[in-house]
Structure 1
Amino acid sequence: MINTQSTRPAAPAGHPAGPASLRATKSQRQTLFATGMGNALEWYDWGIYSAFAIYFATEVFNPKDPLAALLGAMAVFAVGFVARPVGGFLFGWMADHLGRRASMISTVGLASFGSLLIALVPTYNTAGAWAAVVLLTARLLQGLAHGGEMPSAQTYIAESAPAERRGLWSSLIYVSGTAGIVIGLLLGFILNSLLSKQDMQAWGWRIPFIIGALLGLYTLIARSQMKETAAFTEAQAAVREPMWPQIRKNWRSALRVIGLGIGGTVCYYVWSVSAVQQAVIIHKMDQGTALMASVLSNVVLILSLPLWGKFSDRFGRRPGLLIGTGAPIVLFPLLVNTVGQSFWSLFLPATVILVLMGATLSITPAVFAELFPTRIRTVGVAVPYAVSVAIFGGTAPYLQSWANAALGPVVFTVYVVVLLAVSTAVAWKLPETKGKDLSQ
């Protein structure tokens, strides 16, 4: 929950507060909670698919070749990202034409249905290749939803926040997102402790997806009570320039979104999402040990995010972006080789990398929103961000698994470092946008 000192009454929920009005009202806190819940659900879906793929891969794909089955599950994970740019445009257009609220309600409903479909997917032994088709369909639906969820939530938070605290408020996006991953990992740790490996493979892996569907239903109800942002309402009342000319006019901002996103997306995935899978498969770490190490490193990241948000509100966006993408360039090759079979060998390097990346992650929603005008703020972020995540984030688990098995870990490490260098170069050239009036 984000609270700051105030000397005047706060603005109504969904509307930006004045310079001295910095404490969120009860209505605003409820709205921020509903926003965070949907964002957490997206990351929860992402995390549990990766963490539980080692169990359901041989259930959905041919169990006679476990490695091929795992690669098949990771390929479906990647293909699901192909739908993200389409979903980004569809729900971004909806957010910029019908309202941020309408888009956020639609995305969480579709994501919830996708989770339910995965929970009910038939096994290879009962449905053959159709099991993989059902899984692929579910991931495509989730990809559509996720393509619009985060940009809509980012825009909503950025437009609702006081300009001088936008960095702090925007940290809620990755706080809630990482919390979703932590919940998924904790659930994996609990199920791994309570159930045998045979039960996990037979039916235990379905439990997280059932929970995801239920959480989506709860979030859908909570979001139906949200209010629209003042920036969108004012833009709707004004004479509006057509969308496409504005998109063409802001093409540089779209490229900046892609450039800023590629390095952090892959590096974050490696240390926050796929760390458990790789530690177990490559380094033979105990499953429960890997899950707990990843959970605790993500908890430390969550605690650091609001501090980095405050840092950006005081010192600007560019310093945080440079720290979050620049420092891992040096540390990633060193720390990736420290992972072994012990708890500390995963917890310490993951914590160091993730906390440093928090300098960028915490303010990404603010930075992206500050790059675009209100009329195209959601779709302007959604499409390039989804393209970036689809091409680089969606392929990361497959490339990592394939490269480690076929070429060795050095190749994938070089790949990540190059992407981080690109993001750092884009951050260096980025104009400072701290405190920008989003109604302009």
Structure 2
Amino acid sequence: MPDPASPAIRSDAPDVSATSATTKSTPAPSRLRTVIGTGVGNALEWYDWNVYAIFTPFFASQFFPSADPTSALLSTLAIFAVGFLMRPLGGLVFGRLSDRKGRRAAMVGSIALAAAGSLLIGLAPTYATIGVGASALLVFARLVQGLAHGGELPAAQTYVAEMAPRERRGLWSSLIYISGTCGIMVATVLAAVLSSFLSEDQLHAWGWRVPFVIGGLLGLYALIMRLRLEETDAFEKQADTPDRHEPRTSVWRGFWENRAACLRVIGLTLGGTVVYYTWAVSAPAQAISLKGIEASSALWAGVLANLVFLVALPLFGALSDRVGRKPVLYGSYIGGAVLAFPLNWFIQDQAWQLAVSMTTAMLFMSAGAAITPAVFAEMFPTRLRTTGVGFPYAIAVAACGGSAPYLQTWLTSNGQGDLFLGYTVVLLLLALAVVHRMPETKNTDLT
């Protein structure tokens, strides 16, 4: 853990609006810009990323040969996983940009790339038009979005954590997944509306393009909002008072000096990312493709579950500010491990079964998701905070998160779905072991 001898957020600051000699006050307009600028951009990132997962059943045959629908679906999900391979590079590139040039610069760059990738998918020609070139364009667009998303989440997490008052950092950190969930919900609602008003042939022919084009065009608004954001006090203090007698530490040395924190990030992320992408992202698509649940009903079940998730996030964030980070993390991972098998077995061929299982899983998931931005930020010093979180986080997500929908689909279609559930439980137990050994970080000063 970093030495708290020179806090970037004073331990005696009672509220976000408090004024001290070393920490400037944050007026209401600045707080509003922080929430909107960070939230809109982060929501659009998650919207772009998850539109792909939600609409996979509708456009898989547009980029791959349609003779074998299952093969086309698996190929499209494989590209979903390939996009995750760029996330460690994105975490490293945008993390260093954030730690050297500022949090705002990294967030502006990441949102621009994500929007460009979405627009490319929405306008790309199909396999019937240019053959394998369509598949190549899809891969390229997903790699661009993977690079962007690998930098967006850690930069946004760091920005929010550094802007928050120490005593409310857990509550403020829930903004990351609140805004991300709003992006997912918009994508899911749009999918449900389109599936309700368009025929299946229209969805496969052109309806799937609509959400990708919308995501690309909305990127301009997110860019304008982020250009108006202020830089954090923690970064500005570090930038204004460099140690001129000591060379700048390399990023790799920084990783080594903070190796315990980096390993904690990986350990906490592995199980959480599998659960998140299994339930919050791909569950409706899995229900449509493998369980035969009607498309619009499955998508509306996803909307309901995400509404519960959205309401629970700030409640668990505030709870962690009162009782500590570790008790909330314990509840999240224990609940996920205990319920993994029952919730999956409960889903048969009815949308209400999907809604019950998704809602329950995401309620427990929300406890961990709400506070991990605060927990991760509290592990690292300011000079390495974004990179220290972003790179190991992206490695964990690339290793297990991106492959989760593909692995689940492949195993389930071969009658071995319980193997995937066992794999999920093992990763959640690993996260519990990490929580048990980590120190409590509530009210930690950011140095």
- TM-score (normalizing by structure 2): 0.93
1:109 to 96, 107, 112: 112
Displacement of 1:404 in angstroms is 0.7
Whether 1:197 aligns to 2:200 is: yes
Helix, strand or coil: the match of 2:242?
A: coil
Check the 8 A contact 2:16/2:164 in 1, yes or no: no
Contact 1:243 1:376 in 2 (8 A): no
Distance 1:32 1:100 in 2: 14
Aligned counterpart, 2:4: none
2:41 alignment partner in structure 1: 38
**1:10 is the counterpart of 2:17:** yes
Q: Say which SS state the counterpart of residue 363 (structure 1) adopts.
A: helix
Match of 1:131 in 2: 134
Letter aligned with residue 362 of structure 2: L
Alignment-derived partner of residue 3 in structure 1: none
Secondary structure of the structure 2 residue equivalent to 1:437: coil
Residues of 2 paired with 1:65 and 1:291: CA distance? 24
| Preserved contact between residue 108 and residue 226 of structure 2 (Cα < 8 Å) | yes
Structure 1 residue aligned with 2:279: 271
Distance 1:11 1:243 in 2: 35
Kindly indicate whether residue 253 of structure 2 is the aligned counterpart of residue 250 of structure 1. Answer: no
- Contact conserved, 2:174 with 2:317, CA < 8 A, in 1? yes
Verify: 1:366 aligned to 2:374, yes or no.
Answer: yes
Cα deviation for residue 160 of structure 1 reads: 0.1
Of 394, 406, 425, which aligns to 1:417?
Answer: 425
**Structure-2 residue corresponding to 1:288:** 296
Deviations 1:115-170 (A, max 9, x none): 01000111111110000000000000000000000000000000000000000000
Q: Distance in 1 between matches of 2:414 and 2:293?
A: 21
Q: Which runs of 4+ in 1 moved over 6 A?
A: 6-9, 15-18
Superposition deviation, residue 173 in structure 1: 0.4
Preserved CA contact (<8 Å) 1:83 1:143: yes
Q: Is the 8 A contact 1:266 1:393 kept in 2?
A: yes
**In 1: Cα distance, 2:16 partner to 2:117 partner:** 41
- Asked if the contact 1:17–1:161 (Cα under 8 Å) also holds between the matched residues in 2, the reply is no
CA contact (8 A) 1:191 1:204 kept: yes
Asked whether 1:397 is paired with 2:405, we answer yes
Q: Supply the AA of the counterpart residue of 2:395.
A: V
Aligned to 2:438: 430
What CA deviation, in whole Å up to 9, does each residue of 1:199-254 have, x standing for no partner?
11111000000111122111001101111000000011223451333321001111
Residue by residue over 1:160-203, the C-alpha shift from the partner in whole angstroms, topping out at 9 and shown as x without a partner, is 00000000000000111111111100000000011111111111
Contact 1:17–1:162, Cα closer than 8 Å, also in 2 = no
**In the alignment, is the contact (CA less than 8 A) between 1:243 and 1:375 conserved in 2?**
no
- The SS at the match of 1:362 is helix
Instruction: Please list, as runs of the form range in 1=range in 2, the aligned pairs for 1:60-71 lying within 5 A after superposition.
Output: 60-71=63-74
Q: Is the 8 A contact 1:16 1:162 kept in 2?
A: no
Choose from 156, 168, 174 the match for 1:165: 168
Q: Distance in 2 between matches of 1:213 and 1:34?
A: 17
2-side partners of 1:330 and 1:380: how far apart?
A: 31
Structure 1 SS opposite 2:411:
helix
Structure 1 residues 17 and 357: alpha-carbon distance in aligned structure 2, compared to 1, 3 A threshold = farther
State the distance in 1 between where 2:16 and 2:370 align.
Answer: 27
Cα 1:344/1:221, change in 2 over 3 Å: same
Q: With structure 1 as the length reference, what TM-score do the two structures score?
A: 0.94
Check the 8 A contact 1:254/1:380 in 2, yes or no: yes
Aligned residue in 1 for 2:3:
none
Q: CA deviation at 1:352?
A: 1.2
Contact 1:308 1:358 in 2 (8 A): yes
| In 2, Cα distance between equivalents of 1:213 and 1:222 | 15
Q: Distance in 1 between matches of 2:199 and 2:16?
A: 55
The gaps in structure 2 that reach 5 residues or longer are: 1-12
**Residues 101-127 of structure 1: per-residue CA shift (max 9 Å, x gap):** 000000000101000100011111111
Residue 232 in 1 paired to residue 239 in 2? no
Instruction: Give the equivalent residue in structure 1 for 2:8.
Output: none
Aligned residues: 428
> Structure 1's 122 and 366: CA in aligned 2 closer, same or farther, altered over 3 A?
same
Deviation at 1:294, TM superposition (A): 0.7
Shift of 1:355: 0.9
Contact 2:24 2:233 in 1 (8 A): no
Q: In the alignment, is the contact (CA less than 8 A) between 1:158 and 1:365 conserved in 2?
A: yes
- 1:235-288 Cα offsets, whole Å, 9 max, x none, are 112234513333210011111001000101101111111111111122111111
CA distance in 2, matches of 1:328, 1:436: 27
Change in 2 beyond 3 A, CA 1:205/1:431 = same
Identical-pair percentage: 48
One-letter amino acid matched to 1:295: V
Aligned match for 2:323, one of 315, 318, 334? 315
Which one of 145, 154, 176 corresponds to residue 151 of structure 1? Answer: 154
Q: Residue type of the partner of 1:385?
A: Y
In structure 2, distance between residues paired with 1:145 and 1:47: 14
Q: Which deviates the most, 32-41 or 223-232?
A: 32-41
Q: 1:17 Cα deviation (Å)?
A: 7.0
Contact 1:81 / 1:390 at 8 angstroms: preserved in 2?
yes
* Structure 1 position 210 matched with structure 2 position 213: yes
Q: What is the CA–CA distance in structure 2 between the aligned matches of 1:385 and 1:416, rounded to whole Å?
A: 17
Runs (5+) with no aligned partner, structure 1: 1-5
Whole-Å Cα distance in 1 between the matches of residues 30 and 379 of structure 2? Answer: 28
- Counterpart-to-counterpart distance in 1, 2:174 and 2:277: 18
Q: Distance in 2 between matches of 1:7 and 1:115?
A: 42
Whole-angstrom CA distance in 1 between matches of 2:72 and 2:354: 26
The 1:297/1:8 distance shift into structure 2, 3 A limit, reads closer
1:355 to 339, 363, 366: 363
Q: 1:83 to 1:132 in 2, by over 3 A?
A: same
Does the 8 A contact of 1:323 with 1:357 survive in 2?
A: no
Cα distance in structure 1, aligned partners of 2:178 and 2:76: 28
Check the 8 A contact 1:16/1:160 in 2, yes or no.
Answer: no
Task: Return the offset for 1:36.
Answer: 1.0
Tell me, in whole angstroms, the C-alpha distance in 1 between the residues paired with 2:76 and 2:305: 26
